[in-house]
Amino acid sequence: MFADTDFLLALLKPSDWLKGNALKILKKNKGNISTSLSCALELALLCKRLHLPINETFANLFELVSINEKDRIISLRAATYISRYDFNVFDAFHAASCEEDVIISSDKVYDRIGLKRVDLGNDNS
């Protein structure tokens, strides 16, 4: 089974009108539910909007449902960039996906974490 963000959010929020049904589905299907990087990204956006702690939210998420290892690592790395370095959600996921590669961007936010960057705004790059 694949978990969409509304299911995940219902489980992770302290209170949600879908929480009861989500808990029943989780109990019945625990261990057989997965999600994706795109749901983690959407969940990160919602964490920012709803002022939920992203690191804790992702830790709880990965206890509830499975996600492939690479996407889990990217999500956790992005959560750190959001919480520790004040990245916006998309920049955090871009940086987390980049890993050790060079990123092409005019955005100096990546310099905060020492990511190698080809400065798109500099014609000498």
Q: What is the pLDDT of residues 39-96, one digit of tens each?
A: 999 999 999 998 989 999 999 999 999 999 999 999 999 999 999 999 999 999 999 9
Rounded-to-integer distance, Cα 55 and Cα 53, Å? 6
Within a domain: residue 107?
no
Domain assignment present for residue 117? The answer is no
Is pLDDT at 118 greater than 70 in this prediction? yes
pLDDT of 99 reads 80
Q: What is the pLDDT of residue 6?
A: 93
Distance (Å, rounded) from C-alpha 77 to C-alpha 51? 19
> CB–CB of 54/47 below 8 Å?
yes
Provide the whole-model pTM: 0.88
88 occurs within a structural domain:
yes
Banded model confidence at residue 122, pLDDT cuts 50, 70, 90? confident
In-domain check, residue 65 = yes
pLDDT band, residue 124 (cuts 50/70/90): low
**27: containing domain:** 5-99
Mean pLDDT of 31-40: 96
Q: What is the CA radius of gyration of the chain?
A: 16
Residue 120 counted as domain residue? no
- 54/79 Cα distance (integer angstroms): 6
pLDDT at 100 exceeding the cut of 90: no
Q: Does residue 112 lie in a domain region? A: no
Query: Residue 109 domain-assigned?
Result: no
Judging by beta carbons within 10 Å of its beta carbon (0-12, 13-18, 19+), is residue 122 exposed, middle or buried?
Answer: exposed
**Dist CA 24 CA 5 (whole Å):** 16
Q: Look at residue 60 and tell me if it is in a domain.
A: yes
The number of folded domains in the chain is 1
